[in-house]
Structure 1
Amino acid sequence: MMAIPPKPWPTGIAEQCEPLVRRVLAPNPSPYTYTGTQTYIVGAGPDVAVIDPGPAEEAHISAILDAVGDATITAIMCTHTHRDHSPAAAPLAEKTGAPVVGCAPLVIETDLPRSDEAFDQTYDPDRVMEDGEQMTGTGWTLTAIHTPGHTSNHICFALEESGALFTGDHVMGWSTSVVIPPDGDMGDYMKSLERLQARDDSIYYSAHGEPITKPKQLVRGMIGHRRQRENQILRLLGEQARPTPDFIPEMYKGLDPKLHKAAEMSVTAHLIDLERRGLVGRSDDIWQTI
């Protein structure tokens, strides 16, 4: 995880990433969003798509509309429905008449402690995109790539003309993704990483952090990191059975206390995956090897 850089940040400013891609940073920095959520505008002609419109903050919606200018928004596309990604979809659609397309709606009811953004219960897409389905405009084509794991409804969008992939929170430019049960699933997350590893995308644009210019190298490292975490868990359980909180001091030395719950949820996701694979079990809140 990278430290949040000092201000000023380019909040509300349209930055050109490549000929078909601009990004606008939302004013929602936090320990879980880095400097904020990045909304992407795809297209250089009379029509554009908006990816991950972000939080429903008027200043951010106005910044998106200013960046779009005289172009027509023909699609508002969401990678998933955490509240830092999709709430602006509805007001932006109301202002522009553009359809909301992309991931499926999802509402999670849980008493588990949450360390990530809550789910957006207002998200109501006009169309849910199937895996491999495309949205097209003047000079651009976006293909939906289903990547469940961070959330069960997470998808990425591939820009066919340039080889770019919009990765939402599945792969980020500043930190590994948090996988929080019961909706977040580590087994699915690993399969989705392996799916991206098999692709030949040239660059990733994530919702948080800088562009990823060596995507295969990063994804390979992320897969290795998760396998290392699995091995840590199995080693610690080999020493003694323990509840989930007891893993954190050993596995995340020096971690900011504000992030302990996030780490605990990540370890829980690993434990559930290992349990499904028959490698660990539990009695009440105590985990042990089998």
Structure 2
Amino acid sequence: MKDPDPSFQPVHGQIETLEPGIRRIVAPNPSPMTFRGTNTFVLGEKELAVVDPGPISEPHLDAILQTISNATPLKYILVTHAHLDHSPLAARLSEMTGAPIVAFGDAQAGRSEIMQELAQSQQIGGGEGVDVRFKPDVIVDHDTTLDLDSAQIDILHTPGHFGNHISIGFNRALLSGDLVMGWATTLISPPDGDLTDFRNSCNMLLARDWNSFHPSHGAPLTAPNERLEELLAHRNMRENQILDRLQGAPQTAKSIAAAIYTETPAALLPAAERNVMAHLIDLTRRKVIEHEGNLHVASGFKAI
């Protein structure tokens, strides 16, 4: 598989200053889904906030503690969303520092009504990598502001990749979590992922003024609006490919993924299938296509 960003070669556990008040430590959990590893961010100077402590990892915990060990108070532990590569270390860090865990809610929070119904049906698969034990101390709403030093942290609810996903504004930079990344398009796996929400979140971010995005995996983005437009165009392209496949006999998410993700390694086709399912649910909601019988992971879909 071709390396999507050969120039991004961080050293695990090493603190890097990205811009004033924003530092990054990359966790030692590289994989095809996490790229070089999870980016943990430390915000502030006189007061600190840690964003996405990451997976359970003693070396990574040590690196975080060394970064905040100079008697500077840790005020918040912020979690963009409840996936196992982002949230599990939050509880341990909170125990050791006394800082509260701040998030939009637990792993079920923020789902749209239809995704909540599909989650309860347990018929459409998904649930990959969810931190079902995640529980924040403080629940924040969309457009909440938190004070840090003489600056502020802006909390934006940005579902799409995950229902409880937040993006975090600091000055004119945005920590975009897994919603917007440069090295890959985000996984949208229902019922935690929701393509309708993804588009709405991207459009909401486009309406605001940002200098840079710092995703939870991969390198910073210095042209964030351009990347948002690319991601929306990519999803439109996939939608058109899917609609082309549905002009004849009914097709499943699996058969469509195999037909349109022709350059994707076989090991990543299950993730591609989840993205296709997200599109199929979105198109069904918009009454562009329909499915046979009750909706489930192997349903056949066809154009109306």
TM-score (norm: length of structure 1): 0.93
CA distance in 1, matches of 2:37, 2:54: 9
Aligned residues: 286
**Residue in 1 that maps onto 2:53:** 53
RMSD: 1.9
Deviations 1:125-181 (A, max 9, x none): 111111111111213311101101111111101013xx0000100111211110001
Q: What is residue 33 of structure 1 aligned with on the other side?
A: 34
List aligned pairs for 1:86-101, cutoff 5 A. 86-101=87-102
Per-residue deviation, residues 41-75 of structure 1 (Å, max 9, x unmatched): 00122x10001111121111110111123111100
Matches within 5 A, 1:67-216: 67-70=67-70, 71-107=72-108, 110=122, 113-114=125-126, 117-160=128-171, 163-216=172-225
- How much does 1:249 deviate? 2.9
User: Does the CA-based 8 Å contact 1:245-1:264 persist in structure 2?
Assistant: yes
**Is 2:49–2:77's contact at 8 Å kept on the other side of the alignment?**
yes
- 1:254 matched to 2:263? The reply is yes
Shift of 1:103: 2.2
Q: Which runs of 4+ in 1 moved over 3 A?
A: 1-9, 107-114
Q: Offset of 1:4 from its aligned partner?
A: 6.5
* Structure 1 residues 117 and 16: alpha-carbon distance in aligned structure 2, compared to 1, 3 A threshold: farther
Distance 2:159 2:222 in 1: 23
On the 8 A contact 2:81/2:164 being kept in 1, the answer is yes
Kept in 2, the 8 Å contact 1:43–1:139? The answer is: no
Q: Which runs of 5+ in 1 are unaligned?
A: none
Runs of at least 5 residues in structure 2 that lack an aligned partner in the other structure = 109-118, 294-298
Q: Distance in 1 between matches of 2:48 and 2:29?
A: 24
Letter in 1 for 2:12: T
Q: Which amino acid aligns with 1:176?
A: T
Distance 1:3 1:140 in 2: 34
Going from structure 1 to structure 2, the CA distance change for 1:178 and 1:247 (only over 3 Å counts) comes to same
Q: Could you tell me which amino acid in structure 2 is paired with residue 263 of structure 1?
A: A
CA distance in 1, matches of 2:198, 2:291: 22
- The AA in structure 2 aligned to 1:130 is D
Structure 1 residue 200, shift from structure 2 partner: 0.8
Cα separation, partners in 2 of 1:151 and 1:136, compared to 1, 3 Å: same
Contact 1:149-1:184 at 8 Å conserved across structures: yes
Q: 1:216 to 1:7 in 2, by over 3 A?
A: closer
TM-score w.r.t. the length of structure 2 is 0.89
In structure 1, distance between residues paired with 2:85 and 2:74: 20
> Residue in 1 aligned with 2:13?
12
